[in-house]
Every structure is written in C-alpha cells, then in structure tokens.
Structure 1
Amino acid sequence: MASFGRLQAALVAATNEVTVAAANLNFDFTLIKCEAPKEFQELGSALSEKRKNNAEGGSTHITARRLGALFENMLPPTPNLAKSYGTRVSEIAQASRQNNSPRVENSMFAAHVGVDGTSIWAAATSSPTALQVQLLACMLARLWSASEATSIWFEIVKERRKQVENLWNDETSLPYSTVAAAAQSDISRSSLAEWDASARAWLRTADRANERHQDQLMSLLETINMPINQDTLYCSVVSAWKSALETMEHLVTGMPQAVNEGSCILALSAWHLYPDIVLAGSDQPPSKFSDPLVQFGGILTFGLARPGDTKARGVFWSLSLAHLNFYGRPVSRQANFGFESRKLNFEQFTQTIFGALLGYWGLTGPLAHYPARFFISLRQALERESTLNQTNSQTRELCRQVLLDPSHGVNILFRLASAYMEAKDFSDDLIHKLLALGGKRASRLLPSSGARPFLGFHDVGTIISRLKGPGERVTFLRRIASSMPYNPDAYIIRYFDSEDSDGVSRSRLCGFASAHARRQPGTGTLQHARWAPRLFLDSHDTRNEVISEMDDNTSLSLGSEPRVFALQGKDGSGQPALQRFHYVCGIVGSAALFVEESSLNAVPQAIHPDPSRDPHTHSSPSIIPHSGPYPSRNPSIQDLIWCLDSGLFDTRRLIDLFNPTASNPSPQILTLQALQVAHVVYRTLPDAAISTRALDRSLFSTKWATHARQRITAAMRDQQPPPQLHLHQALSCIAYLEGGFDLDPEGLGRAFALAFEESIYFSMQMTCDPWDTPSPHEVKRITGNIGKSGLTLLIPPKDSMTPDRDESAWRLITTTEFNGKPENHFSKTSMHLSFTEYYVPLVQSGDVQEQDSQVFLLESVISVMPRLEGILTGKEARIGLYEVSSVADMFRYYPHFMTTSRTDAVKREDNDLVISVREPYGVTAGICAYNAPLGIYAMKAGPALAAGNVIIIKASETNPLSTLFAVSLASQAHIPIGVIQCVTGGLEPGKALAEHAKIRKLSFTGSISAGKAIQVAAARGNLKSVTLELGGKSPVVVFPDVDLDMAAHNIAGQLFMLNAQVCATGSRIYAHESIIDDLIAKMKAIVNAGEAARVPGRDPLDMNTTWSPIYNYKQYEVVKGFLSDIDRQATVVTGGVVVEGPGCYVQPTIVRHPIEGARVVKEEVSGPILVVDEFTTEEEALAKANDTETGLTATLWTTDFGRILRFSKGMEAGMIQVNRGLSVGAQMPFGGSKPEFFLAWRLPSQHLPQLAE
C-alpha cells in the first residue's frame, strides 16, 4: 500500500515511550513468544517437535503474531471462552495421541504424524487476540473450501490494513504492534493458506474425537434454515466473528443465549463446545449435550426453518470473493453447513450410493425393501449353489470366489440391503438420512435420459435370458401368465431346447406347454400339459404333467414361425378349427408366451396376480412398464425374488450382471463397478473420511474408475485374470473421494504418498514387515500432515543419492540360517522424510482463473541414517531425531535466504550510487563442541557454503562419528570434493586451524579457556576473523504476575533437556521474594514426580527415554566436582548426589541461598544443577542477572509489557526469551553480547555478512 510509506516513516519518528524503546531495539514483534495458557499445555506436549518449533518460532508463529496484532483491540475479550477452548483442544490432542501406532511414530513419518494443532499452539504462544483469530480460521475452514477461505483471509487482512491506516491518519491511538503489523508487507497468500490448512486439519481430527456430539448437532441442523449476515465480505466476516465470540463467551459462563442467525451454530461446531440447545417453536425436548466445559445455564435457543421453505437445511453464508481469481469481477459464492456437507466413512458413502441407485430405479421410501430383499436373496442363492453337489463344478467354484471377495458387488449390495432391513423400522436411524441424501444426488451420480430398469431387467425376456434352462423358463412364464388379462386357457408357451438370441432357426425343434393348469376329468386335480417331441420329453422333467408327443416335422414347422403360428384345435362348439397364436412376451428364440387370436376380441380383465399364489405381488413395483402389442403383466422385483428363491436363475449369468464387458453398460452397472474398485482401495482404510463432494458427479466417469474399467475390460477380452490395482490408481481414487480432485492415474506413477488435511496416505509396503507382501494398491492412513495446503502428492527424486561403492571396503553378510524368531537388527538405524524445494502445482482448481492451486507435487527424500548421536553421547533418541532434522533445515534455509537477500546500496545527495558488495572469505574453518555435534556442524557449514566459502570442520574429539557421517553425505548431494572437509583430534588440529594463514575465517564453539587460546593462535597466524561461542551461565528472572505452574514446569524441565548440558540452559534462577518459596516447591515437586520414570541405564535409543547421562566421563568428573562442595556453597533443595550404578548419571539438583561468589553461580556447570536466589526490586534482579562473564541467553517471566521492554534493553544477553524457554532454528538469532563473548550467530541478514567481506 503506497500510503503506508508515511505510516512507516512515522513509526521511526514516534515519540511514544514504548514505540521508541522498541525502535531502539530494532524490535520485531513477530519474534515474541509468550507462554501458552495452562489449559493449552497438553496440546503442546502432544505436538511433534517439528510442528511445535514451527508454532513457536517458524512461519506459522509469525502469521499468528501478525494476525493477532493486526486485529488487536477490535474484538471483545473472551477469557472464559479461551479457557474452555484450551481445555477442549488439550483433551482432543491427548485422545488422538493415544491412537497413534508405535510403528508409525518410529517410522519415516514420525515428524509429521499426530494431531496438527500448529495454528492453535502458535496462537496460544502469541496473544489472546491471536487465539481469537485462530477461532475464526476454524469457522472459515468449516464452511468454505481451501481456496475460498484463503481468498477471504487475504481480503479481510487487506481491508483491516486499510482501516488501520485510516485510524492512524485520524490520529487515533493504536497499539504499536497493530501499527507495525499494518505497516509491514502483505501477509502472503501462501502463509494464509498454510494457516488455513492447519485449522482445516485440526477440524478433521477434532470431529473424529467428538463424533457423537457432531452427529447430534448435524441432526439438529436438518430442522433449521439460518443464514449468516449478508454484507460486504469484510463486514460480514467481522460481524459473524464478533457475534460468535460474544455468544460463546456468555454460553460457557452459564448465560443463556438466543440467536436468529447462523454464526454461533457454525462456531460451536468449529470450536467443539456444546451447550444444550432448544429449538424455538418446536415440541422437541431440549437437546442435551451435557458438556462439562459449558457451565450450568448455558442454553442456546434458535428457531426452526421457515414453513414452506424448500431450501436445503443448515447454515448458509453468501459472500462475494474479490480475490479468488487472478482477474475479473468478484465471484459470488454460497457455502452451506448441514447434514449434506458432513464427512462420511466408506460404509456411509456406500449407503448414499445405494440411495442413489434406489432413486435411479424409482424405489425410494417404503419401496426400498423390495430391492433390499432381492440382494439378500441373491446372496443366499449363491451360498446354496456353492454347496450343491449337482451344481456344475465351475459354477460352484465361481460362486465361492464371489462369496469370498468382500469387494464384489454382490457382497457390497448384500451388506447394504441387510443394514437397511435391520434399520427400516427405525425412522431416526442414520441410514435413512444417507439413503435420502443419495436419492437427492441420483441425477448427478447416475445421469440417464432413457429407461431405468432394475439391474437391466427391462422386460420378461431379459429375465428369461438369465434362467437356467427350458424347464425354468416355462415355470417362470407360467407365473407371468397367471395374472394375464384374458382367459388363462387362451395362453400357451412355446419353448426351445436351446437359446437363439438372433431369432428363430428353421432347423430347431420346439415344444409347447400350457400356461395355466387345468382340472383333470375324474380326478379333479390341476395339471399342466406338455406337447413336445420325444427328444424333449426324454431330456426334460415333465413329472405331474399331461404329456402329448409331437412328431419332429410338426415341431420343426411350428418352431420356424417367429411371432405368429397356428395350431389345430377346436372352436367353441367343439368343431375342429385352426387357432392362431400371437406373441405376448418372452424371447421368441428361447421361450415365449403366446395368446390365442380369438380371445383378443373379449374385453380384457384388469391385470392382477392370483393372491392365493403370492400375497405380496400386488404391491411389488414393476421393473419397467410393458411395451408389447398385447396386454401383459409387467415383471416385478417380487418375480425376481421368487425366481431366486425357487432356484430358477443361472448364477453365472446373474454374476455377469456385475461384469463391465457389455458393449453399452448402463449407469447403474458402471456405478456398481466403480464402487467395487473403491471398496478394494478402502478395505485397508477403515478410518478414512470421504467428502460429499464425491456425490456431485457420476463415479463411473472419474478418471480412476475409467482407467480401472479399461484395464479390466482389456484383460477379460484377452482371457486374462482381472489385473491388480496399482498404487497410482488407489491414490487417484483417494484424491477424488477425499477432496473431489479427479486426477489421471497415469500422471501419478511416481507418487508414493498423498497428504490432505489431517491424513497421510502411503503405500503399505513402506511400513510393513519385509516378510509381509501387501498388494501394490494397499494403502495405509495415519493422522498427520506435512504442513501444506490443498492436496500434496509426494514423489521421489528422479535420481536418488546412494553412497558411492568403495571396492576396498568389505561388507560381511551372515550365512546363519534363519531360526524363525523375528529380531530387530535396525534398532540403531532411523529413517527420515524430508522435502526438497521442488513443489509445483499438478492441476489448478476447478476454475483455471483461481489464484490458488489445490493439488501439488512435492519432491520427497527418505534418508536412512544410523543413530550415531545417541550411541556416542547417550542423548535421548527423541532429541537426536530433532537434531538430525535441524541439519536439513540449516542447509535448506541459508541457500534460500541468499536468493532473496539484497545488496546494500546507498544513493548520495550528489546522485552517486554507492554499492557495497561482499565477497566470500574463501577458506573457513569451524570447531565443534561435544554436546550437539550435528547441530553445531550445520550452524557453521550451512551459512559458510551459502556465502560461497569452503569449510574445514573439526569434529569433537569425544564423539566425532556423527559429524564424520554427516560430512560424508556431502558427496551424495553433489557437493564437490573438498568443499566440506572434516578433521578429528584434540588440541593440535584446533590450534593448526587457528594458526593457518590460508584460513581467513574461524568459528569456534567451546569453553572460555579454549576460546581464549583459539583467539591467541588466530592472532599469531594471520589475524583472521574469529567468531567465538563460549558457553553461558544464563539467568531466569521470575516476577509475581505470571502463572507459577507454567514457569516452574518450564524452568524445571531444563534439568532433563539433555541433562542441562546445553550452553543456553537457564541455570541461575532469580525469583521475586514474594513467590520464591512457592516456585521452589513447585519445581521440586516436578523433579521428584518424574524420578521413577527416569531410571538410569535406559536405552537412549528408546523413544520413551527422557533422562540422559552426562555425555562423557571427563565432564562427569567436572559435575561431580561441583557436587562435592555444593553443601558449603548453597542449600540443597533436592538432588545433589551421584547416582550409583552403571553410566554417568547425576541426580537433577536444585539449590538455593548461594553464598557470595559461589562457584556454582559463577561458572558454567554443563550438568543438571539449578541455583535459585531471590530479589526485591527490578534493579536488583537486573544486577544479579548481568553478574556473569558470559551473556548468551536470558529468560524473563512477566506479563508487564513495559517491564519486558526495560529488561530487554537492560539485560546483557544476546538472546532474551519472554515467558518461555529457548527456541532455536535456522531463522532464529543465536549469539551472546559480553566483551568476552564474540557474537556467534544473529539473524541471517546479520550473520551471513560475517562469512563474507
């Protein structure tokens, strides 16, 4: 915004005390982190390290801080809502955490598995307003698609910045952070998309955890029709936001509320807080949710849908999106939140498809039980055929194969039919709502402009074509003739021994059978008659029938007439007469029903069945209206069921109904086939969710279904077995059903995983035991994501990097025979998933004009690394894994920063342009410490290479292997030989590097004494530039205005973070005299409560290990030296002794009342000892905090913003944390500020110039 230049200039010249102080500090408010409220703490503990670091200091935290600051002071305070929300999200996070599989948590997806509460934790560690912004993110993600929500965010941010600018121009008092947030550059769409993606993933996880309450709420939405205010986008969103915040704040405190618009309903669904609900004007009793987080009396009342309103039920929101497309007028969009927008599991999805089929057949409501009975009878018929000895062996085997295949259409429809029959008498059952939903979408799912016969049975002939033989066809036609409109005796059945679908051949024998049984003279019994050639009589069962033999010539002659033939008979007076018969229904070349011509002159009776034969037939719906020239009863589904129960159908031909080889299969068969393919994919995904967007178009027209159908058809044409599905087909199917993205399987050939919202889908072959052999298409789902918006397909690099073969190195392979006992021989090996910068859109959104792509390809690398770090240092595996991932972050971040950094340029008053160009030093060196060898290596090598240097790394002499291994990976990354080198050893290599004349830059991490020696050696060599990081004795200052539980938990936790062997550990604690006793008591309780779990000797490679030993014996002796005389220097509160037994373990120790000049206060221990002292005034606290020769970090616990700024300026430390522990990362500053402490690391813009001149 051009006019913000004035505002930005004004910020520099501001006279406000706070603003000036912040400006003097070069204050970046987005880097401030607050301690999250205690209600959110369990959420923080459930997050993976990667997500937590992003939330506390990465891009999501910056977005949360900026959005929170931008909207500060314009929203109502909601402290009670924040507490309730924090408690609920912690409950959800902990419940979801327990569902994670240990196998997956230790897999390559470990950093990405679990609940994604990144946006919530980022907001909780930012500000109360940021939490309210996160609540809005959940509301928008609940109702709008990802691209729509991102566009809404972009527009409200833009409008709010304009609003702040106008307020500034009107000289309205504004918080510094709000002005700064408005004056900074736009928040990028990618940042807003990432913000929305995290909220969207959280909603999915939270919905699963609160499924019962969400379903109860969805049921209520069917009775309402409530819009959200319709105004300009910014006003509409802000109004709905404020209304929801205020209403929910009152509800959780027990104040009843009545609403007449939908924002509150949307909010309680998105925030998962459930007050009891009353429907005004309804006789229904209040809906009891009994949510303990809503105090008694918090009852929400809203109105029913307006009478006669035909709109879909739920909450509606219409907005005009000005920033959805690259170009053009604003796009009007309406979103609906109701039953039809819910997520479905696969079983529910199949029930909606069943409902669509019922709608396609016109068999909805009470008529649905007829097709349900048919599918149950069909399954029972196959079961009978699979066990009957008289059944053909091939048919019997086919039936068994079908019955054993859960994905076959017969079994899918049987399960659906059975579920319906069990629930048909319970009108409130969910299945009825799902069937109704499918019925509404029938025209989209099964588009058809012609007839819609049930399973293709469009007339009597199609039924006959699937019966076993002549006897079964005659039996069926007699059933049809029993309810014909003319005299039953006027009908006759002609049948052939074999079928001829092309017509009637002149060389075929035929026979005739009575259509209606006649009472025999004398006996009075009803018997059918049969007139057929001897061949027929010998081969067909004609028991209990009156038999007349026909000569072959007559049979051949009568069989040659297609639709009309004549028989010699008698007229009404008994005289011989020629009777002509006309075709009515059936197949003329197989079996058909004919009627005598003279009877057609009579008035036809109403067509109805004989109730004595089938009391149910009268209500059974017809398959399709009869279209023949003469009246005939339409075949019904009851006829089909009767045929099944009577064993008339040829089961092979019934199974062929589900075969896609027909030249022009109908939409119903194609849909069933697509459903079968989807069922194969989802058999291993019981907890996967499906979007109702998948119901907006025909399944069979999707690319994954078409691809599968073409392969199956080709295989059957070539008489090959059905081909197995492949992974790319499965991922294409999941992409469509999960997100509505119709992707060509052929374009996904390289993909091995798919990430969308809160789910990661990947090939089961990646995590199964090598002994197992899952099918290529089998996919596993885990709760997690990779932090990207939209749908992301993970693909491998085209050329993978593998270690170069060393012909001189031997690889020994054991020849011991396997004893049958599975053993883990990879316990010292880990796998890590990381991503390159190759992140490109695969397809745009549905409209190519939209700005936000929704499907991306992300190049992903799986690295296999031994856990050398844990073996060499005893470091816990959970910490070691994070350090490994930080190495990749360093090497990934600094090159990216170099592409975006700017050259310094100054324009003088005489119009001369002065440009400062920095050149690399050339050869640099880095000396690493023992406590974090991998992390320190990356912090030195990453920026050195990015600035154009080569670097020689000296690994720690006590644990060099992990550094050597990391350096060896450089060649695999195509870094030329010699650019990164590594030497090992003690003092001599370090001294040589410091003195060498060709090394022009040296970075050292270690003790003060060693650092001084390095400085002297460097001066003796070539006066090279030296950066020293010499440890720390960092202070923590605690004031009474903070939550002591949070402070105690954070401070005491440092004792177990690498056993306090970190230079940035806050080891000197200064607490105000009014709270010191309480703080010590809480810290002691925390330390002692965890003692039983911290058993010395636990394997550091165990992910559950939380207590590590001292890293090496030399340092162990140093710590023991501090403990030996600690009683003479201070009062021991807890600990203070060495743990007996194997390993270098020391009890976590807290002491207080240190004497003046106590060594434990002045010197760095690098072990688990905290010193606690008290202060009275701010001046005293500041003096004690600065009383150290090292000034690496400092921590301040207070909620007073003025005090924060005073201490930030007065504390002599390079890094200051407020209300939290240390956060490190490639983007974060790291360095000290004492004269003895040469600045080690700052922000990249300040640090990289140190590696160039």
Structure 2
Amino acid sequence: MLFARSAMEDELLETYSHWINGAYHEPSGREWMDTMDPYSGQAWAKIPLGVAADADLAVSAAKQAMTSGSWASMSATQRGKIMRRIGDLTLQHADRLAELEVRDNGKLLAEMRGAINNVAEIWYYYAGLADKIQGAVMPIEKSGMIGLTQREPIGVVLALTAWNAPLNFLALKCAPALAAGCAVVVKPSEFSSVSSLFFASLTQEAGLPDGVLNVVTGLGQSIGAPLVEHPDVAMITFTGSDTTGAKVYEAAARHMKRVALELGGKSPNIVFADADLDLAVAGAVSGIFGGGGQMCTAGSRLLVQNSILESFTDRLVSSARSIKLGDPMDPTTQMGPMSTTPQYHKVLEYIDIAHQDGARCVLGGKPASGPGIQGGQFVEPTIFVDVSNAMRIAREEVFGPVLSVIGFEDEAQAIAIANETPYGLAAGVWTRDTGRVFRMAKALEVGTVWGNTYRTYSYMMPFGGMKKSGIGREMGIEAVEEFLETKSVMISIADATPQNNFIPR
C-alpha cells in the first residue's frame, strides 16, 4: 500500500531495495511501497515498487551469470560448496530471519525458528545433490555409434513465492535450481518480501557469483507480469492460488516456458472410528489451526465416521476452544493474525457464505478480540458442522482457521467424498488398520497421503499436487529434475561414414 507520509515518518521505516547482480538497486521508478506488520496493523518497512525495467535488469543479470560468468564454468562440486555455505549463513542469521518473517506475515516466532533451521537443511540437501546429476550411456541399436545423454540446466528460472512462507519457498525453488546450474530471479509476494531481500545478501557472503540469485519486489501487474513474459526466462516455478497459477500457466504456454505450479488445496483429514482418537483430535486441530489455517495443505475438510461424529466433534471443539491467540512474538501464542488484510476479509466472507448455505457454526465464526489481540486481523478458530460436500465452504479454499466437519458411513463413502473436489494436494487418514491406510493411499487423488499424522514434511520427499493443486514436484531428488534438460549426443566410432537411416521427423 502507498501512503503519503512526512519525510520524518518515512525515515522511521526500514527501507529495502532490489537485489540485482550482487548489489542492492533502488527501483527504476524511485517508488517504494509499505509492508505491514499483521499483528500491529502498522507499516514497519518499505520495499521497492518494481517495474518492467527492474525485471529486465534482473533477468539480464541471471542470463549473463549462466552464459559468461563464473557460475557457467564452475564445477558442480564447487556449486555445492557455495550452497552449503548458504545453509551455514542461514543458521548464523536464524534469529534475524525468523524475526523478519514474523514481522512480515504474522507467523509464530516459536515456529519460525524451527522453520529457519529447516530452510538451512534444504540448502544442505541440494548442495549434496549438485554433483550427483548424471547422464547415461545408451546401448542404441546402431553399430559403430555411441549414444549418451547429458543433463543441462534449463536456463533462467523465475521463482514466484507466496506470502505465507517466503524463505521456505525460496529455498525449495532456488536450491534445486542452483544445484542444476540455473540462475534465478525471485519475485516474492508484495505482502512479505523483506526476508527474501535480506537473505539475498547472505548468498553473496557465501560466495555465490553475482547474478545467480536476484530478488525483485512489487506488484504482480507492474513487475510480475513482465517477468513472466520475459523472453529470457526459460522456466517459471510458482506457489500460490490456483486462480493466479492458471494465469501464469497460460502466459507461460504462449512462450513455451516450462512451469512447476504448487497451488491450492481443500485437503480431507479422514478419521475412522477405530483410530486413536486423542491423536486424531490433536492432528485435526493442528491440521487446520496451525499457521492460522494459512497453508496450502490445511486439513480444512474433516471427514469423521458417523458412529463417532458427535462425540469426536465435541472433543474437537473443546480442544480448539483453548487455542491462545495473540502476539506472534510471544512464545506462548498458539495462533497469530491473518497475514494480510485482504485475506482477513476473505476468511470472514467465507464464514458468512457458510451460514447462508446452511452450515451450523459450533465454534468461533467472527473476528477475535480480547487481551493481547490488536491490529484487527484476527479470526477466531471456527468449526462448522452439518456441512455437505456440495457447499462452497467445503469446495473452495478459504486459507484461514475455518474447519468443515463432514460425516461418512464407510471407507467407500470416505473416498468418494474426499475425491469429490477439484483439488488434490494432500490427505490424512486416521485408523489403526494398516491395510486401510494403504488402500486409502492408493485410492485418494492427492499428491501426499499422511497416515496417523498430518502436516509432516520432509525435504527428502517429493511434494506436489494433482488436478487443480498443481503441476510438478518440489522437494526430494525429483525437484532437481524440474530444472534440467536432457540432451542426446550420438558419436560415430566407425571407420567409415555410416549410411543415412534417419527416422523421418
């Protein structure tokens, strides 16, 4: 948001610039925009309001780094060593990075410190993979010929990251891209850009050559679109809503750019009567109210077997009622504010829609107030019952602390309800029947299935969605594949020139 302020007031705000080609650059238009603290509701820093000229500078720096800079001639082992130093510096600056994330998006400081440790582990993991990328010698059918494949970086990568976990998304996109030998331009969400701008300078301290990682900020229309359309961007990796993801996909298709899209979800968390109900209650609460429900994998549809539906819901409401809301910097706080003002209003709008559609609210359902709550962006933990899977509250991504409880009779009906959605990101299954877990895992149309747990992640495991939840995979070895091209090389070792025997193409 842009505000008119006195020069003295402006001086009180931390001011950041783009990170391009190894240095901070003021925006070409000499304009900045406020970034807001979701807890206080006040501006606390200014970030660059980037334009097309800034996009061009960043992409040009990345292209030069890949084609003529030291990055282009560096061995994969050398790249891995630099990436490992990035992980080291992440840990050294963990407290500062965690504080910046909390100020920008309202996540809990207690959670962010652990999250920053995980960010460092992501850099370490892909540092180790950098020199494990291999081609192959192919036993082709032609005598006197050797066939082999080479794996090469796809080119300049554009990473568009979401506001709910900027540094995590930056690592998940940039670390495998750098391991593959690519250079990257990062465009964080305008709602939470500061941590990415600060982090970029750490990569230089680690020895990353200029231009390999660039961070530019601003609005989607003013700088995001020029980046997506830029002819020297070979690939786009995006995390965000399915609506915006579809627009990115459409724009990329016009220029035949590769895409990896990690989009929304409406994930079912399925509880059978034979489950450990204490664990299932805890998993259901964490699955939707952790992070204020602002997670793509939020277990926003709780499917409960009818024989325990009423008793389980009572236990669930009792547990959720005790969640402490407040200052995300306070280590005792269990749920913070909505990260952005637009998201706050969107969540309240969906609560109204649920009432209109006939769902019954048994907990919350309104803005939160009370001691330690300020800034006007808190929503009470909210639970709806009497929900049908046809209601909008059960079909559309709310991205907030709003849970829909839906009953089911048996395994077949649970699968049918779970799959009756345009999304397919994740699902949870709670049961003591191990065979059921495997049957459900096979039947559920999602990219990740959790058995007797929820929101359990590993950077070693591939992550991504089916249907409208996305294309491609992040994390795991599979993530590096997204940033590589395969080149076929055929060499004659025969004494005579082989006869032409081409297959027409």
Q: Normalization by structure 2: what TM-score?
A: 0.74
CA distance in 2, matches of 1:859, 1:1237: 32
SS in structure 2 opposite 1:1221?
coil
Question: Which residue of the partner structure matches residue 982 of structure 1?
Answer: 215
Q: Does 1:1131 align with 2:360?
A: yes
Tell whether 2:470 aligns with 1:1241: no
SS at match of 1:992: helix
Q: Alignment partner of 1:925: what SS?
A: strand
* Partner residue in 2 for 1:969: 202
Cα displacement (A) at 1:913: 6.1
Q: Which residue of 2 aligns with 1:1002?
A: 236
1:1056 CA drift (Å):
3.2
Q: Distance in 1 between matches of 2:245 and 2:119?
A: 24
TM superposition shift of 1:1177: 2.2
Distance 1:1038 1:982 in 2: 43
Which among 113, 124, 135 is matched to residue 892 of structure 1?
Answer: 124
What does 1:131-146 align with in structure 2 at a 5 Å threshold? none
- Which residue in 2 is equivalent to 1:1114? 342
Over 3 Å counting, the alpha-carbon distance change for 1:1215 and 1:897 in structure 2 is same
Report how far residue 1150 of structure 1 moved. Answer: 1.1
Are residue 1185 (structure 1) and residue 408 (structure 2) matched?
Answer: no
Output the CA distance in 2 between the equivalents of 1:926 and 1:882: 23
Q: Distance in 1 between matches of 2:361 and 2:225?
A: 40
Q: CA deviation at 1:1019?
A: 2.2
- C-alpha root-mean-square deviation of aligned residues, in Å? 2.6
CA 1185–1200 in structure 1, closer or farther in 2 if over 3 Å, else same: same
Shift of 1:990: 1.7
Separation (CA, whole Å) in 1 of partners of 2:218 and 2:164: 16
Which of 899, 916, 920 is matched with 2:149 structurally? 916
Aligned equivalent of 2:319 = 1086
What aligned pairs does 1:558-957 form with structure 2 within 5 A after superposition?
862-863=92-93, 865=96, 867-907=99-139, 914-957=147-190
User: In the aligned structure 2, how far is the partner of 1:859 from the partner of 1:1007?
Assistant: 31
The residue number in structure 1 matching 2:63 is none
Aligned residue identity for 1:1137: K
Partner of 1:1015: 249
Deviations 1:418-466 (A, max 9, x none): xxxxxxxxxxxxxxxxxxxxxxxxxxxxxxxxxxxxxxxxxxxxxxxxx
Q: CA deviation at 1:1228?
A: 2.0
Cα deviation per residue 1:608-650 (whole Å; 9 max; x = unaligned)? Answer: xxxxxxxxxxxxxxxxxxxxxxxxxxxxxxxxxxxxxxxxxxx
Q: How many residues align?
A: 397
Q: Contact conserved, 1:1233 with 1:1239, CA < 8 A, in 2?
A: no
The gaps in structure 1 that reach 5 residues or longer are: 1-803, 809-835, 839-857
Residue 456 of structure 2 aligns to a residue whose secondary structure is coil
Q: In the alignment, residue 1192 of structure 1 is paired with which amino acid? A: L
Whole-Å separation in 2 of the counterparts to 1:956 and 1:1241:
19
- Shift, 1:944, TM fit: 0.6
Residue 1158 (structure 1) aligned with residue 386 (structure 2): no
Whole-angstrom distance in 2 between the partners of 1:1083 and 1:1024:
46
Distance 1:859 1:1121, change over 3 A: closer
Deviation, structure 1 residue 861: 6.6
Q: Percent identity?
A: 33
State the match for 1:1251 in structure 2.
483
Distance (Å, rounded) in 2 between the aligned partners of 1:1005 and 1:1178: 32
Bigger Cα displacement from structure 2, 902-911 vs 1136-1145: 902-911
Indicate how the Cα distance of structure 1 residues 1025 and 1183 shifts in structure 2: closer, same or farther if over 3 A, else same: same
Candidates 321, 327, 330, aligned match of 1:1102: 330
Matches within 5 A, 1:425-444: none
CA–CA distance in structure 2, aligned partners of residues 1242 and 1103 of structure 1: 29
Q: Tell me whether 975-984 or 1219-1228 shows the greater mean CA deviation.
A: 1219-1228
Q: Equivalent residue of 1:931, what SS?
A: coil
Residue pairs, 1:243-282, within 5 angstroms: none
**Counterpart Cα distance in 2 of 1:1156 and 1:1057:** 23
Query: Aligned partners of 1:980, 1:972: CA distance in 2, in Å?
Result: 12
When the two structures are superposed, what TM-score results if normalisation uses the length of structure 1? 0.31
User: Aligned partners of 2:132, 2:484: CA distance in 1, in Å?
Assistant: 17
Q: Which has the larger radius of gyration?
A: 1
1:139-158 map, 5 Å = none
**Partners in 2 of 1:889 and 1:1211 — Cα distance?**
30
1:874 offset after TM fit, Å?
Answer: 1.4
Give the SS at the match of 2:442. helix
Mapped pair 1:992 → 2:222: no
CA contact (8 A) 2:303 2:407 kept: yes
Amino acid at match of 1:1039: F
Q: Distance in 1 between matches of 2:300 and 2:383?
A: 10
| Structure 2 unaligned residues grouped into runs of 5+ | 1-21, 27-79, 83-87, 486-505
The aligned residue for residue 33 of structure 2 is none
Whichever residue aligns with residue 999 of structure 1, its letter is: V
Shift of 1:1142: 3.5
Q: Comparing both chains, which one has the higher relative contact order based on Cα–Cα distances under 8 Å and sequence gaps of 6 or more?
A: 2
Deviation at 1:879, TM superposition (A): 1.6
Question: Take 1:1156 and 1:1182, find their aligned partners in 2: how far apart are those partners?
Answer: 12
Secondary structure of the corresponding residue to residue 1000 of structure 1: strand
- CA distance, structure 2, for counterparts of residue 861 and residue 1197 of structure 1: 35
User: Which of these residues, 246, 262, 275, is aligned with residue 1029 of structure 1?
Assistant: 262
Output the amino acid matched with 2:236: L
**For 2:335 and 2:129, how far apart are their aligned partners in 1?**
36
